[in-house]
A and B are shown apart, each in its own frame.
Chain A
């Protein structure tokens, strides 16, 4: 049998993101106006069956009291999902991560806590390996043209530039970057190609593009033009605007290397 070179390359990944609030999947536009979109475990299992390559669960209301609830949810997800999944939201210590991994999470994502205490990234990567540590960055392009890091679910601006923080995070041991453009998130006008390309081509780790995917062509653009390693989206999948098998068929037609459904 002859093997097409294209078949032997690492695939671009399609990653549905499930934002969790009080145990339900929600999705907002530009980080506000949350709408209910169903049971996260059922949705996750459905996406896995439809050919999603990975799942991300973000607990957007994570507080100290809710940690236990999140662990239980992660445990339930792990029992039902046969593909890798990442958990994020309010993670700020090695103990938090240890509890989530023991309940079956494959990777964890850190955001605000890592920015406030970059040592956390180093501690986590030493303890659990870089492959397990995803650095999530929410970024917004300001009028000066620069992309700045935002914290606390997009509510707090910092003076840090997105690229600088991403690079520092990778140097500290982050194994992947989950990059969300707040300018694009929820707009369905396409991913932020420039900043995604800057990170994806200059950092030695995979970059997951997030925010703005609205059409199947947007995914082609973010893979081809921005060289993203993976693309993440939420509402277009939750509200059945684009089905994963349909998206993967389209990408295959555009010669993008993906795992067929």
Chain B
């Protein structure tokens, strides 16, 4: 099965590639739209800033390519946010695969736990898990998050996390999946999620 990782101007692509290697899967990193369109599965990773990433995707005509993919697609972190309708990060219109809006966390306080910092960096639990993406994962599994913006809860939410308020830890619509956390850095839980995606 051909697995393609979309190459664009966002970081952490190597991490995804190495995580796949650890579970015995090789992938091709490319921005070639024919290769992306003909792949069996597509991973759309990303750590970075929304508006410059969207600009890059448009310049390379990858925005249209991604929206029209028919095979299973997994967006990770910024990749998932770019699959939403809109991001507050520099007022960016995104791909619109998911209707959910991406908003900036408003720093808050959490009683004795002290001030809640933005971005969220670290391990948080995911719950209300739905779809095959989470096969074999218990409720409240821990995953690694690094993000200042979040997708609100909506009809496509398939996992919830709680930071300042509950929000979408993962989204799903048709062949499209998105994870706000980093499965490639989430130890055994993340490996299970990647394996689940690969066996969709």
Chain A interfacial positions (CB closer than 8 Å to B): 1, 3, 7-11, 13, 48, 53-54, 78-80, 82-84, 101-104, 106, 128-132, 175-176, 200-201, 204-206, 227, 229-230, 259-260
Lowest 6 A-B CB distances belong to which pairs?
A8-B162, A259-B142, A259-B123, A11-B123, A104-B14, A227-B114
Say whether B122 contacts A104, CB under 8 Å: no
Say whether B185 contacts A106, CB under 8 Å: yes
A256 to chain B, nearest CB (A): 10
Residues of B within 8 A of A3 (CB): 127, 139-140
Among B61-81, those with CB < 8 Å from A are none
Say whether A131 contacts B142, CB under 8 Å: no
A33 to chain B, nearest CB (A): 33
A201 to B147: give the CA distance in the assembly, Å.
20
Say whether B119 contacts A79, CB under 8 Å: no
Say whether A78 contacts B115, CB under 8 Å: no
A252 to B62: give the CA distance in the assembly, Å.
46
A11 to B189: give the CA distance in the assembly, Å.
16
- A7 with B119, Cβ < 8 A, contacts A82-B22, A82-B191, A129-B49 known: no
Say whether A84 contacts B144, CB under 8 Å: yes
Say whether A129 contacts B48, CB under 8 Å: yes
Say whether A129 contacts B22, CB under 8 Å: no
A3 to B186: give the CA distance in the assembly, Å.
21
Chain B interfacial positions (CB closer than 8 Å to A): 11-12, 14-15, 18-19, 21-22, 47-49, 107, 110, 113-125, 127, 139-140, 142, 144-148, 161-163, 182, 184-188, 190-191
Having A3-B127, A9-B113, A132-B11, one finds 12 other A-B pairs with CB under 8 Å, namely A1-B139, A10-B116, A10-B122, A10-B145, A11-B122, A78-B18, A104-B14, A104-B18, A129-B48, A132-B47, A175-B121, A204-B117
Say whether B127 contacts A8, CB under 8 Å: yes
Residues of B within 8 A of A104 (CB): 14-15, 18
- A83 with B139, Cβ < 8 A, contacts A9-B110, A11-B122, A176-B121 known: no
Main secondary structure, interface of A, reads: loop
Residues of A within 8 A of B18 (CB): 78-79, 104
A7, A102, A227, most chain B CB atoms within 10 A: A7
Say whether B47 contacts A131, CB under 8 Å: yes
Q: Give 7 A-B contacts (CB < 8 Å), ordered by A residue.
A: A82-B186, A83-B144, A129-B48, A131-B146, A206-B117, A206-B122, A260-B142
* A201 to B, closest residue via Cβ: B114
* B190 to A, closest residue via Cβ: A82
Residues of A within 8 A of B11 (CB): 101, 128-129, 132
A48 to chain B, nearest CB (A): 7
Residues of A within 8 A of B14 (CB): 78, 101-104
Say whether B110 contacts A131, CB under 8 Å: no
A88 to chain B, nearest CB (A): 16
Residues of A within 8 A of B148 (CB): 131
Say whether B123 contacts A106, CB under 8 Å: no
Residues of A within 8 A of B145 (CB): 10
Say whether A10 contacts B47, CB under 8 Å: no
- A175 with B119, Cβ < 8 A, contacts A3-B140, A9-B162, A82-B185 known: yes
Which one of A80, A102, A130, A260 lies within 8 Å of B119 (CB-CB)?
A130
* B121 to A, closest residue via Cβ: A206
Say whether A11 contacts B142, CB under 8 Å: yes
Say whether A131 contacts B119, CB under 8 Å: yes
Say whether A10 contacts B120, CB under 8 Å: yes
